[in-house]
Amino acid sequence: MAAKRKRAALAAAKAKRARSAPSAGEAAPEGDPGERSTPPQEYSIPPPVSQGKWKNKERVLIFSSRGINFRTRHLMQDLRTLMPHSKADTKMDRKDQLFVINEVCEMKNCNKCIFFEAKKKQDLYMWLSNTPQGPSAKFLVQNVHTLAELKMTGNCLRGSRPLLSFDPIFDREPHYALLKELFIQIFGTPQYHPKSQPFVDHVFTFTVTDERIWFRNYQIIEEDASLVEIGPRFVLNLIKIFQGSFGGPTLYENPHYQSPNMHRRLLRLSVAAKFREKQQVKEVQKIKKKGTKVLVEEDPTEVVFETPAEEKPVEIQLVKPESKPIVKDKKKLRKIQRKKQKKLFRTEG
């Protein structure tokens, strides 16, 4: 009560001063002739940052299912940082149906949703939906790189509004035109949003290459208007476009899409085919080794230039040869030989 009384007294005093002070058009009160009327001081107040009114009240709910890995969690956090008009929520249970997300968005007062669905702890799917009427699109997310992982040199102010750049093919094909409108409404920050900054310093690019949509985020440098990548980056492989939100009739189905399960199955089959081919080659080599060799007939002309060797007479020895004494000492052997020679001389003489 004392504080209120003080404020009321101060307000009354200010009102009295305003009444007693002369206006700019009135003359100064009579007094000394040297005194002149001084003009009142003017104070200029800078205008507010957001001069307009927030009319496009787009709010995006970004959350995921249970079972995601650390890279998906960081990707979600990066998108929430880049999109000031986004909201977060707790992870959804796997057993819940997808149409429950519409009720979650209604409770969070959001009309757009980015939902990350993890399967088998290795496959990541992204849902982009306009809740609760639709349409919605389902993508397979590949080649995810986050802000912390890439260590890019680019940088932008938190909450600044991005430019959206699209490939020319988004205006040719009808399903890409629908996705373009969905991307504009989800990734475009509304003008005069309370959490956004009133200038543009980065650009989101959506490029179609190899039947996939490549997302990149670049900083716009003011000096020469060059681009430096900030991150994150990921690739969206379109699966289906539904008429409703998280379900309903199928508006478009990508004929070039191949599920991760089928891709892994084809890889296993290719490895098995290579192994079977090696085994067959080994069996063929074994059969060749075991097979009988084909004998080549003798050529009669091969013996023309051969000269027969001289035949030596065969001598038959009728007398048993004398056994040689085994003597280890060479000197004793020589003595024995000399004795034998002497005996032979005696007999001949």
pLDDT tens string, the chain, 349 residues long: the values are: 555 555 666 666 666 565 555 444 444 444 444 445 556 677 676 554 556 788 888 999 999 999 999 999 999 999 999 999 999 999 999 888 898 999 999 999 999 999 999 998 899 999 999 998 989 999 999 999 998 887 788 889 988 999 999 999 999 999 999 999 999 999 999 988 889 988 899 999 999 999 999 999 999 998 788 999 998 999 999 999 999 999 999 999 999 999 999 999 999 999 999 999 999 999 998 888 887 666 677 888 887 888 877 888 878 878 887 777 665 667 777 888 888 888 877 776 6
Q: What is the CATH number of the domain that holds 169?
A: 3.40.50.10480
Asked, for residue 250, whether it belongs to a domain, the answer is yes
Sign of CA pseudo-dihedral 141, 142, 146, 152: negative
**Residues 48, 277: Cα–Cα separation, whole Å:** 75
Which pair of tokens denotes residue 61?
């709910």
Asked, for residue 55, whether it belongs to a domain, the answer is no
Which pair of tokens denotes residue 137?
């699109």
Asked, for residue 25, whether it belongs to a domain, the answer is no
Asked, for residue 36, whether it belongs to a domain, the answer is no
Write out the residue range of the structural domain in which residue 175 sits: 60-263
- Print burial letters for 137-176: b (CB count within 10 Å at least 16), e (below 16): bbbbbeebbbbeeeebebebeebbbbeeebbeebeeeeeb
Q: What is the end-to-end Cα distance of the chain in Å, rounded?
A: 173
- Number of structural domains found in the chain: 1
Which pair of tokens denotes residue 242?
């539904």
Asked, for residue 12, whether it belongs to a domain, the answer is no
Asked, for residue 172, whether it belongs to a domain, the answer is yes
Asked, for residue 299, whether it belongs to a domain, the answer is no
Asked, for residue 17, whether it belongs to a domain, the answer is no
